[in-house]
Structure 1
Amino acid sequence: MPKILRRNAQIAFILIISLLAGCPTDSSDALLTVEHAARGAFAAAISHDGRYSLVSSIEHGVVLWDNTTHGLKYQWSQSQQADELVHSLAIAHDNSSAVTAANDRFAIWRLSDGQNIGYYQIEQGTIRDIAISNDGRYVLYGRSDNVVVHLDLDSGRRIEFLGHQEKINSIALSPNGHFALTGANDYSAYFWDTRTGQVIHRFNHPSRVTKVALDPEGRYAFTADSMKKASIWQLTSGEIKSQLQYIARQKIFSAVRFNQDGRLIATGSPNRQLTLWQVDNGEKLATWRVKPREGSRPKSAVVFAVAFTGNDNTLLTESSSGLLEQFARE
């Protein structure tokens, strides 16, 4: 057989074997697409159950959308200064409240009636990431000056966590507000008790930690660095559960969410990618791509948030395109 024919036959065989092995697909077809920001979003969050999306954009300020009716629920101004740009935001696990943050201030909002609960100014550094607990009682935020602050809004009690040596990139708070996971440029992530400031586990990485997430049931933590290590840790022991399996030399995560039973984890990336993984072995199960904003150059989009819906058979995303998209597991 001529060499070129033999080479073509080998390639065809590899493709057939890959298909039979059930390799994850990379589809760009969303089941549903809803525009939430006409000229693109600056930041976004989705509630744990997928019911609400919170979107920050230059044109509309901060808007809360009801994803069950696809209607606008509330439109909020960050503060008296209407030109402030909200770059970090979060919805409480119990859908009681939300927090929105600009560089040096944040605001708390009640979801039942849309009322503002309070505006808060910070005196040092700038806010890099923010989270809020159930009932809107506790707020956690990471600052550019290496400090993480845990604030009890009921009592005013404040704890400053000083374990990091460089600026904070990502933080996560347990639903009850008692535990925090924080990642920074010092190559480390800390899991700590917000009532005492005591470190429970330290997770080390070979480069700066850019994204962290907590399983709301308290089973696992997710930490990822700026190069090629993304790990899932058991919170009871601090031992590694698995590492996400990919071959890219560099992979950045911009969104992470565990599913309800802790078997799956979904991630979003700055390159339009939405990926579903198996927690116990880090195996990739499926991949999709969100849509770029129409007319954008280059055709790119950052996945800001992801959530599981429909008994974990569908996933929702919010991206910098200003779009809510729904994807189905095959």
Structure 2
Amino acid sequence: MIMFKAQLFRASLLFVLVSCVLSGCTIPETTPVAQWRHVKDGAYAADISADGQLIVASGVTNGINVWRLGNDEPVYHWAQQGEGENLVIAVHIAADKSHVVTADREAFALWSMATGEPLGFWRIDESTIRDVAVASGGRGVLVARSSGQVMYFEPESQRRLEFLGHTEKVNSIDISPNGKYALSGGNDYTAYLWNTDTGQIIHTFTHPSRVTKVALDDQGRYAFTADSQDKSQIWDVQTGEPVSQLQYIARQKIFTDAVFSKEGDFLLTGSPSRRVFLWDVKTGEKIDAWEVAVRESVSPPTAVVYAVGFPRDGFILTTSSSGLTEQWERRNE
């Protein structure tokens, strides 16, 4: 009987260890130091400004709201489709916070942060919109489409360039603050860094599966590309060479947002399963982790982390599908 119990214990322990390897285990309980309700009934999309002081969130029932961190009332309330149902699924704030671009599946709009007024509304007829990004000063807008094309568009001059490097659906894009460089990743297992003046490819980053998330460092040092399986890579944008690969055991890790810290030491990522991770850029090692509040109206209760940011030294910020923006203390630097 004693031997049987020992064998049973060892079998149970092995099951727990295998489960941890497959699922990545749970994150120790974390509690935000501050929390704000920015969307009433859950969010479709959100973004946090580079300095962590501005949040734009697209709500299921209350349109698009612009918030300054810590304020109890929104700065602006926008409705891209008029007063009907809000269908905005992509939001991006320019690095200098001067403009915001929002998009549903068929059209995108550019907004001025100085006045809160729309500067233009453009419909895409060829294929559905997958992602959008805007450069500082609103000088250029990037639009990813399900056709595999990425459009670069300059609102003031109306200049339009179609990037045709991808052969399948584009999932994620980012743009440099000056609008000169774009990063795009798609179902063709490839991410490209390319020039928006000419469409010329600067670097090609290959993956073993479809690329689901890309991000550029606003300071022009790094690029991040991640696929649908287990390759999540930080690259040197000057040389195109790898800097590090994120270190984790899980067979699959999907990211919904990725932001480099201003100093370039850290990468902060969000996921579709509540989880937020802080990574060391040079080594790819995980430094810290958090779990955001769940959206109670979904079953099972969970939340998609739409946006992450660095509001000030020692803290991080998250906005999720729960409709909450939460501030967390960094513990393990």
TM-score (norm 1): 0.91
Counterpart for residue 170 of structure 1: 172
Counterpart for residue 321 of structure 1: 322
Counterpart for residue 307 of structure 1: 309
SS of alignment partner, residue 297 of structure 1: coil
Among 238, 251, 263, which residue is 2:253 paired with? Answer: 251
Shift of 1:295: 4.8
> Could you give the per-residue CA deviations for residues 146-167 of structure 1, whole angstroms, max 9, x where no partner exists?
0000011121111100000000
Counterpart for residue 181 of structure 1: 183
Counterpart for residue 203 of structure 1: 205
Counterpart for residue 159 of structure 1: 161
* Structure-2 separation of matches of 1:267 and 1:167: 23
Matched, 1:224 2:219: no
Letter aligned with residue 320 of structure 2? S
**1:209 and 1:112, CA in 2 relative to 1: closer, same or farther beyond 3 A?**
same
Q: Is the 8 A contact 1:27 1:287 kept in 2?
A: no
* Structure-1 separation of matches of 2:196 and 2:83: 32
> Could you give the per-residue CA deviations for residues 89-121 of structure 1, whole angstroms, max 9, x where no partner exists?
111110101011011111111112211111111
Matched, 1:272 2:271: no
Which deviates more, 234-243 or 292-301?
A: 292-301
Which deviates more, 69-78 or 190-199?
A: 69-78
* Structure-1 separation of matches of 2:96 and 2:47: 14
Counterpart for residue 21 of structure 1: none
Which deviates more, 239-248 or 71-80?
A: 71-80
Q: Is the 8 A contact 1:28 1:291 kept in 2?
A: no
SS of alignment partner, residue 71 of structure 1: coil
SS of alignment partner, residue 151 of structure 2: strand
**1:84 and 1:309, CA in 2 relative to 1: closer, same or farther beyond 3 A?**
closer
Counterpart for residue 91 of structure 1: 93
The correspondence of residues 26-105 of structure 1 with structure 2, limited to 5 A, is 26-80=28-82, 82-105=84-107
Which deviates more, 118-127 or 281-290?
A: 118-127
> Could you give the per-residue CA deviations for residues 227-264 of structure 1, whole angstroms, max 9, x where no partner exists?
11100000111010000000001110011100001110
Shift of 1:69: 2.2
SS of alignment partner, residue 135 of structure 1: helix
Which deviates more, 108-117 or 282-291?
A: 108-117
Counterpart for residue 289 of structure 1: 291
- The count of aligned residue pairs is 316
SS of alignment partner, residue 171 of structure 2: strand
Shift of 1:33: 1.3
Among 93, 116, 125, which residue is 1:114 paired with? Answer: 116
Q: Is the 8 A contact 2:100 2:111 kept in 1?
A: yes
Q: Is the 8 A contact 2:27 2:291 kept in 1?
A: no
> Could you give the per-residue CA deviations for residues 43-79 of structure 1, whole angstroms, max 9, x where no partner exists?
1111111111111112111111111424311110104
> Could you give the per-residue CA deviations for residues 113-137 of structure 1, whole angstroms, max 9, x where no partner exists?
2111111112210110000010111
TM-score (norm 2): 0.91
* Structure-1 separation of matches of 2:86 and 2:53: 27
Q: Is the 8 A contact 1:79 1:119 kept in 2?
A: no
* Structure-2 separation of matches of 1:230 and 1:26: 23
Q: Is the 8 A contact 2:183 2:191 kept in 1?
A: yes
* Structure-2 separation of matches of 1:270 and 1:93: 24
* Structure-1 separation of matches of 2:29 and 2:114: 37
**Which 5+ residue runs of structure 1 have no aligned equivalent?**
12-23
* Structure-2 separation of matches of 1:176 and 1:80: 31
Letter aligned with residue 322 of structure 2? S
Identity of aligned residues (%): 46
Counterpart for residue 130 of structure 1: 132
Shift of 1:294: 3.1
Matched, 1:237 2:234: no
**Which 5+ residue runs of structure 2 have no aligned equivalent?**
14-25
Letter aligned with residue 236 of structure 1? Q
Shift of 1:5: 8.3
Letter aligned with residue 199 of structure 2? G
SS of alignment partner, residue 137 of structure 2: helix
